[in-house]
Chain A
Amino acid sequence: MQKIRTPYLLLLPGFAFLFTFFILPIINLAQTSTQTPLSGGDTGQYEQTYRFGNYIDAFVENKEQFGRSFVYALIATLLALAISYPLAYAIAFKSGKYKNFFLVLVVAPFFTSFILRTVAWKQILGEEGFVVPTLRTIGVISDSTTLTSTAFAVVMGMTYNFLPFMTLPLYASIDRIDPRTLEASGDLYANGFTTFRKVTLPLSMPGVVAGTLLTFIPAAGDYVNAAILGSPNTKMIGNVIESRYFKIVDYPTAAALSFTLMAAILILVTLYIRKAGTEELV
């Protein structure tokens, strides 16, 4: 009797907490998203009218920012994957006894404030930094071209900030590969590329899936990079939600946008996991 109850007793406090402060808020968000302004009330006062048209209005009004969020997040995820894969591979297979040291180095930049690092990029890529004048001198960019306040800067910032989320799961799954399988592949006359395509890559798929998810999800909802490194032309859906909440006090639209974002991400993630065929994640 005692034994059957133990897991439930252990779960109770944590799940009660998550129910109150995670599930309830999401339900509440769904309710808020169908409210309309209280007639005769002040700004910021709303009543429940179950107006699902809020969703259509919110989407139509902000479809550009929605599209941008997903495109930026996708490019940043692919760039992070391209940068992280060789790095994770090198740490797992080519660094011998310095493995742990290099792993610490991957996480270390995390310990300096995320916002401060983003601001640092803004200054490095800005007019007073050293990158822009150098590129102008050697003629890569024209005198009128700037690097900050561009889509390039926003995507670069996101790639940078979420890179360890990609590298760590990739490392974890590449490190688990038995190097003898790679040797075996070589013994069977596969060249380096074939070995990679037929052995290394398939075996590291769980890491690729986990890494791309851990990068894509926060990137799609991010607004800090766009706020610091971007311009009004690079606004993402996060920026819209933030300003709806704080500047315009338009809670229903903000809620409808948040809910649409979450639903879109959940659908994409489910499709992706199905397609990639990994169930180890959860």
Chain B
Amino acid sequence: MSKKIAEAKAPTISPILRFQRWFGRNLIRVYMFLAFTYLFIPVAYTFAFSFNDSGKSNLIWKGFTLDNWQNPCGAPEVCNALANSIKIGLLATIFSTILGTMIAFAIGRHKFRGRSTSNLLIFLPMATPEIVLGASLLSLFLVLHINPGFWPTVIAHVVFCISFVVVTVKARIASLDPRLEQAAMDLYANEFQTFRRVTLPLVAPGIAGAALLAFSLSFDDFIITNFNSGTVITFPKFVYTAAARGIPAQANVIASSMFFLALAIVIAGQILNRRKAR
């Protein structure tokens, strides 16, 4: 009876509309929850199994232990691989950030002949599948009789990191207000002073972001590394080769620590930005 009255009072709200409203309000939240669950399942799994009292092969849950976290170098090859990855990552980040930032300034700040060709040259490495990048560099090194190893890997990483640095820094330069630089010039700053005191500090967050991106790309790269590293074992390469015979739980410890470290850096950066904005 009361149901009938309600329908009579609001005849304009059709069930379809009501469903749409409900959809707008709740389904999208449910959806976000499901999507993030999907994204985080393997991360949670990796984290959980870092506490596994597993012995050599970390396949089945055998009991809780803190040993792996207290002794992350218990499997020494894991730590060697990690050290290599960090060294290669830092070198690749430094070189690609410097070269990429220079290119970004040239393209973002100047009009010159060959600008669109330059843009194309930056886009091409991103449009080339990693396996082709890796394989072509290896074939060059073979022709030049350079053995794959540490430095060839660094070079290979710089090749694919440069484009990402250019794109990131260029976006930051494009978002700058040109009037700030004009103001500096009006106040009798010369070109170099303007660049050092005004432009560079404003672009710096973009450069820092680009460097972080370059490091994480380099650190996690497997395909290109696999082609050019020879006998040098990086962390992803170690995990890949160990996958067949069982990955030590220490690898989970390192991957989980990297996850929390990166998350901490990103959150700290966000807080810093918000403080500056105030």
Shortest CB–CB separation between residue B96 and chain A, in angstroms?
9
Q: In the bound complex, do residue A117 and residue B103 qualify as a contact, i.e. CB atoms below 8 Å apart?
A: no
Take A120-B45, A245-B227 as given contacts and tell me if A218 and B130 are in contact as well, using a CB distance cutoff of 8 Å.
yes
Q: In the bound complex, do residue B42 and residue A117 qualify as a contact, i.e. CB atoms below 8 Å apart?
A: yes
Residue of B nearest to A19 (CB): B121
A57 in the interface (beta carbon within 8 A): no
Q: In the bound complex, do residue B128 and residue A262 qualify as a contact, i.e. CB atoms below 8 Å apart?
A: yes
Q: In the bound complex, do residue A115 and residue B162 qualify as a contact, i.e. CB atoms below 8 Å apart?
A: no
Take A14-B100, A124-B45, A241-B131 as given contacts and tell me if A86 and B28 are in contact as well, using a CB distance cutoff of 8 Å.
yes
B60 in the interface (beta carbon within 8 A): yes
- Expressed in whole angstroms, the Cα–Cα distance for A112 and B137 within the complex equals 27
Q: In the bound complex, do residue B31 and residue A28 qualify as a contact, i.e. CB atoms below 8 Å apart?
A: no
Segment among B63-71, B177-185, B198-206, B259-267 that sits at the interface with chain A: B259-267
Residue of B nearest to A24 (CB): B140
Most buried by B among A29, A94, A119, A218: A119
Q: In the bound complex, do residue A13 and residue B102 qualify as a contact, i.e. CB atoms below 8 Å apart?
A: yes
Q: How many residues does chain A have at the interface if contact means C-beta atoms less than 8 Å apart? A: 80
The one of A4, A21, A224, A281 in contact with B112, judged by C-beta atoms closer than 8 angstroms, is: A4
Per-position binary interface string of chain B over residues 42-60, scored 1 when its CB falls under 8 Å from any chain A CB and 0 otherwise: 1101100100000000011
A144-191: which residues lie under 8 A (CB-CB) from chain B? Answer: 160, 163, 191
Question: What bracket does the count of chain B residues touching chain A fall in?
Answer: 35 or more
The one of B38, B99, B240, B259 in contact with A13, judged by C-beta atoms closer than 8 angstroms, is: B99
Take A117-B42, A192-B20 as given contacts and tell me if A258 and B131 are in contact as well, using a CB distance cutoff of 8 Å.
yes
Q: In the bound complex, do residue A223 and residue B131 qualify as a contact, i.e. CB atoms below 8 Å apart?
A: yes
Q: In the bound complex, do residue A123 and residue B118 qualify as a contact, i.e. CB atoms below 8 Å apart?
A: no
A108 in the interface (beta carbon within 8 A): yes
Residues of B within 8 A of A282 (CB): 116, 119-120, 123
Q: In the bound complex, do residue A117 and residue B43 qualify as a contact, i.e. CB atoms below 8 Å apart?
A: yes
Q: In the bound complex, do residue A221 and residue B130 qualify as a contact, i.e. CB atoms below 8 Å apart?
A: yes
The one of A191, A224, A251 in contact with B222, judged by C-beta atoms closer than 8 angstroms, is: A224
A67 in the interface (beta carbon within 8 A): no
Take A18-B121, A90-B32, A163-B39 as given contacts and tell me if A119 and B247 are in contact as well, using a CB distance cutoff of 8 Å.
yes
Per-position binary interface string of chain A over residues 25-66, scored 1 when its CB falls under 8 Å from any chain B CB and 0 otherwise: 110110010000000000000000000000000000000000
Q: In the bound complex, do residue B139 and residue A113 qualify as a contact, i.e. CB atoms below 8 Å apart?
A: no
Q: In the bound complex, do residue A105 and residue B42 qualify as a contact, i.e. CB atoms below 8 Å apart?
A: no
- Expressed in whole angstroms, the Cα–Cα distance for A64 and B135 within the complex equals 21
A277 in the interface (beta carbon within 8 A): no
B176 in the interface (beta carbon within 8 A): no
- Expressed in whole angstroms, the Cα–Cα distance for A271 and B7 within the complex equals 54
Shortest CB–CB separation between residue B225 and chain A, in angstroms?
11
A203 in the interface (beta carbon within 8 A): no
Per-position binary interface string of chain B over residues 255-275, scored 1 when its CB falls under 8 Å from any chain A CB and 0 otherwise: 110110111001100100000
Residues of A within 8 A of B137 (CB): 21, 25
Q: In the bound complex, do residue B140 and residue A28 qualify as a contact, i.e. CB atoms below 8 Å apart?
A: yes
Q: In the bound complex, do residue A87 and residue B31 qualify as a contact, i.e. CB atoms below 8 Å apart?
A: yes
Take A112-B255, A241-B135 as given contacts and tell me if A11 and B159 are in contact as well, using a CB distance cutoff of 8 Å.
no
Q: In the bound complex, do residue B42 and residue A109 qualify as a contact, i.e. CB atoms below 8 Å apart?
A: yes
The one of B102, B121, B227, B239 in contact with A116, judged by C-beta atoms closer than 8 angstroms, is: B239
The one of B115, B133, B220 in contact with A22, judged by C-beta atoms closer than 8 angstroms, is: B133
Per-position binary interface string of chain B over residues 131-174, scored 1 when its CB falls under 8 Å from any chain A CB and 0 otherwise: 11101111110110000000000011011001000100000000
Q: In the bound complex, do residue B129 and residue A218 qualify as a contact, i.e. CB atoms below 8 Å apart?
A: yes
Residues of B within 8 A of A245 (CB): 135, 138, 227
A-B contact list, 22 entries, CB within 8 Å: A11-B102, A11-B103, A14-B162, A15-B103, A91-B32, A108-B40, A109-B40, A111-B259, A111-B262, A112-B46, A113-B236, A113-B258, A115-B239, A118-B42, A119-B239, A119-B243, A123-B45, A191-B20, A259-B132, A262-B128, A282-B116, A282-B120
> Closest 6 A-B residue pairs measured CB to CB?
A221-B129, A25-B136, A120-B42, A10-B106, A7-B110, A111-B262
A positions within 8 Å CB-CB of B: 4, 6-8, 10-11, 13-15, 17-18, 21-22, 24-26, 28-29, 32, 83, 86-87, 89-91, 94-95, 100, 102, 104-124, 128, 160, 163, 191-192, 213, 217-218, 220-224, 228, 238, 241-242, 245, 251, 254-255, 258-259, 261-262, 265-266, 269, 281-282
Given contacts A114-B220, A238-B223, 10 further A-B contacts (CB under 8 A): A17-B99, A22-B125, A90-B32, A104-B270, A108-B266, A113-B235, A120-B46, A160-B42, A238-B131, A241-B131
